[in-house]
Structure 1
Amino acid sequence: MSSLRKQRGLTLISLIILAVLLGLLFIVGSQVVPSVTEFMSIKKAVKHAATNGGNPAEIRAAFNKSAEVNYIETISGKDLQITQSNGKTIVSFAYDKEIHLAGPAYLLIKYESSTSSSGY
């Protein structure tokens, strides 16, 4: 008797499941990427405003100007927390972004950063 080799590969059902999972991942990713891009723009605008501004009113005004140019709509200058620490101005912000997935399901992303932090 000849030995039968075991077949390897994906079945049709597993291929369909894989396609559905990749499709869902693409849909969620296409909604998350603009949010992350806006967060990076906000961080850049806050850093620019903190280095070019003087008092809190000037920092908020500089941020609002950058926000207009960079199409930042999530936060404004009034949402910035401006503090002094050891003679250094620290500008921080925090906000939540809700992304509707389906039905009652939402994805909540919490963004926060400050001019003194090095990461997200």
Structure 2
Amino acid sequence: MNNRQRGISFIGVLFVVGVLAFAGVIAAQAFPTVVEFQSITKAATKAKDGASVTEIRTIFDKAAQVDDIKSITGKDLEVSKEGDKTVVSFAYNKEIHIAGPTFLLIKYAGRSK
């Protein structure tokens, strides 16, 4: 007799759905941080055209107001020269609360293009 059933059990389905739901919640919380990182990179690239460090930071702060950037400000930027080019770099951390005392830490670092 070959009457063995194959497939996933109801408990298995619940487990898979739970894992996918957890991953979806984490992804939904992480996605806005990725969008903000792209906005910061765009603002840093725009700001590198400034003539002085103060002007670069002011340009970045104005772009940050338009793009609603809250993670860093102009004073958090590192401005340097590579040859004859101005390079604006930045680094910051974002924490996503998971449950209780558990957090997901995402470290972002970038520079102007």
Q: Where on the TM-score scale, by shorter chain, does this alignment land: which range?
A: over 0.9
Other-structure match for 2:69: 72
The one-character-per-residue Cα deviations of 1:57-112 (angstroms, maximum 9, x if unpaired) are 11111100100000001100000000112121111000011111001110000000
Q: Any stretches of 5+ residues in structure 1 without a counterpart?
A: none
Moved over 4 A (4+): none
Identity of aligned residues (%): 42
Other-structure match for 1:82: 79
Q: Give the distance between the partners of 1:95 and 1:40, measured in 2 at CA.
A: 13
After TM superposition, the score normalised by the length of structure 2 is 0.94
Other-structure match for 1:21: 19
Higher relative contact order (CA 8 A, sep 6+): 2
RMSD (Å) for aligned C-alpha atoms = 1.1
Q: CA deviation at 1:5?
A: 4.8
Q: Any stretches of 5+ residues in structure 2 without a counterpart?
A: none
What amino acid does structure 2 have at the position aligned with 1:24? Answer: F
User: Aligned match of 1:47 in 45, 48, 61?
Assistant: 45
